[in-house]
């Protein structure tokens, strides 16, 4: 098999230190690889990612009553808290700076308390972690939020 320059594809001798055509320095070795066939080329069924409607939280009670907070279907967790740096900013002293995280899981949206002072209540039950269902009422400090997912 004849060796080729990786830049210009010109013929090179195994003894050459540079390509005689383009001058590319041939340091080390370049290994040949074969492309991996894509699933659709080999007749395999390509799995599609699960689509999930982005959730939203409707503020029913609290300083920001009436607003809707969208929860995008992101890779990482969303921080909920009083800190302006949080993804879901709930501006009230009854909310801890980093109160909870909300994240997507295979079973749905999940909320987890982050050792907050006042905790998290879902449908009037104190929880540390729970998968959210459509219509759930979350209480975080002075806020009551209805889940739409």
- 28 and 100 in a common domain: no
Do residue 32 and residue 67 come from a single domain?
no
Task: Assess whether 94 and 60 both reside in one domain.
Answer: yes
The partner residues of 146 in beta bridges, in order of sequence, read 58, 137
Q: Looking at residue 129, what is its pLDDT?
A: 98
Q: Do residues 144 and 71 share a domain?
A: yes
pLDDT (tens digit, 9 = 90+) per residue, 100-114?
A: 999 998 889 999 999
CA distance linking residue 109 with residue 107, whole number of Å: 7
Full residue range of the structural domain in which residue 63 is found: 55-148
143 and 70, same structural domain? yes
- Give, in order, the Cα–Cα distances in Å from 107 to each of 23, 25, 84: 57, 54, 29
In terms of domains, do 19 and 92 share one? no
pLDDT recorded at residue 37? 67
pTM value is: 0.65
Q: What is the pLDDT of residue 35?
A: 63
Q: What is the DSSP string of 46-108?
A: PPPPPP-PPEEEEEEESTTTT-EEEE---SSPEEEESSTTSSEE--STTS-TT-EEEEEETTE
Those residues whose C-beta lies under 8 Å from the C-beta of residue 93, and which sit 6 or more positions away, are 82, 141
Q: pLDDT at position 28, please?
A: 60
What pLDDT is stored for residue 120 in this prediction?
A: 96
Can you give the pLDDT at residue 51?
A: 52
Mean pLDDT by 10 residues, the chain (149 residues): 76 83 70 60 57 81 92 85 94 95 92 96 96 96 94
């Amino acid at each position: 098999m004849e060796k080729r320059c990786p830049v210009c594809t010109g013929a090179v001798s195994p003894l050459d230190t540079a390509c005689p055509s383009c001058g590319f320095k041939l340091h080390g070795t370049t290994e040949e690889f074969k492309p991996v066939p894509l699933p659709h080329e080999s007749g395999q069924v390509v799995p599609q990612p699960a689509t999930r409607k982005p959730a939203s939280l409707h503020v029913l009670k609290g300083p920001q009553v009436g607003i809707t907070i969208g929860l995008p279907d992101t890779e990482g967790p969303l921080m909920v808290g009083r800190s302006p740096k949080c993804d879901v900013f709930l501006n009230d002293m009854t909310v801890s700076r980093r109160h909870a995280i909300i994240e997507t899981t295979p079973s749905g949206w999940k909320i987890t308390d982050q050792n907050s002072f006042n905790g998290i209540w879902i449908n009037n039950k104190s929880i540390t972690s729970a998968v959210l269902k459509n219509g759930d009422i979350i209480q975080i400090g002075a806020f009551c939020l209805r889940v739409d997912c």
